[in-house]
Amino acid sequence: MRNEIRHIAIIMDGNGRWAEAQGKKRVKGHEKGAEVVRDITTFCSIHKEIERLTLYAFSTENWKRPKYEVDFLMKLLDGWLKKELPIYLENDIRFKAIGDISGFSTKLQKTIQDIEKKTLACKGLTQSLALNYGSKDEVIRAVKSLIKQNIEVTEASLEYALDTSMPVDILIRSGGDKRLSNFLLWQSAYAELFFTETLWPDFTPDELQSILENFKKIERRFGGLK
Ligand code: FPP
């Protein structure tokens, strides 16, 4: 049987380098990166087999960046989400944030919750943005919530308490580095990993299509034998 693609996760790296290579400010790369998010999401929504696309948009470590860049990303996200609503609705895409959004301004939290609510009835692809997300933080929050509810910590209960329990089938990182950067570590236990030199603003649906085709040829054993 050909491998099923239910969950694709992407570390969108290389925005800053893309902008600098063109003599532009780093944040211009984030702007272009946001456009690519739309192209890739729409492409995934057409592939009915793909249920979820999780994109690493802001990590728990990204607060270390200069205030100017953090502020720019927050503003970009807020405006982008509002503009994106008709695209979600037209394409039957549900929007869902993962991560600890309580770390954001009340205004941004409201925008995130509003778009989640307005796309709740969408039945196609779920686009999940990882926002103030880190895998270690996610696991700690999950364990704490189990303890608070007096639920025994088991593999099943912990998995259920995570922000998302859907296993990742394909994990892609753009920008040339080969690391996971605290992204969906639990969910990616058996993910197939794809690293590309392409900087995120240059990533295209064609490149994703070719990754999907390569994924189909892989023999996945999940620790067992063929
Ligand atoms: C990594 O590039 C990218 C990020 C830290 C943020 C990802 C954000 C976007 C794609 C745009 C915003 C998204 C939405 C949905 C509005 P980098 O800055 O680390 O690039 P570099 O490695 O070249 O410095």
Beta carbon of 34 within 6 Å of any ligand 1 atom: yes
Beta carbon of 33 within 6 Å of any ligand 1 atom: yes
Decide if 57 contacts 77 (C-beta within 8 A): yes
Q: What six digits make up the tokens of 62?
A: 């990204």
Calculate what percentage of the chain has a pLDDT beyond 70.
99
The protein residue with its alpha carbon nearest to ligand 1, atom 6, reads 57
Prediction pTM value: 0.96
Decide if 109 contacts 36 (C-beta within 8 A): no
Beta carbon of 16 within 6 Å of any ligand 1 atom: yes
Which domains, from first to last, does the chain contain?
7-134+167-215 (3.40.1180.10)
Q: Strand order of the sheet with strand 192-195?
A: 94-98, 126-133, 52-59, 7-11, 170-173, 192-195
Higher pLDDT, 226 or 123: 123
The answer, yes or no, to whether residue 80 has pLDDT greater than 80, is yes
Positions annotated as catalytic residues are 13, 62
Q: For residues 160 and 177, give the distance between their C-alpha atoms in angstroms, rounded to a whole number.
A: 31
Distances (CA, A) of 85 to 43, 75, 91, 176: 17, 16, 10, 32
Could you read off the pLDDT of 105-117 as tens digits, one per residue? 999 999 999 999 9
201 C-alpha to center of ligand 1: Å? Answer: 9
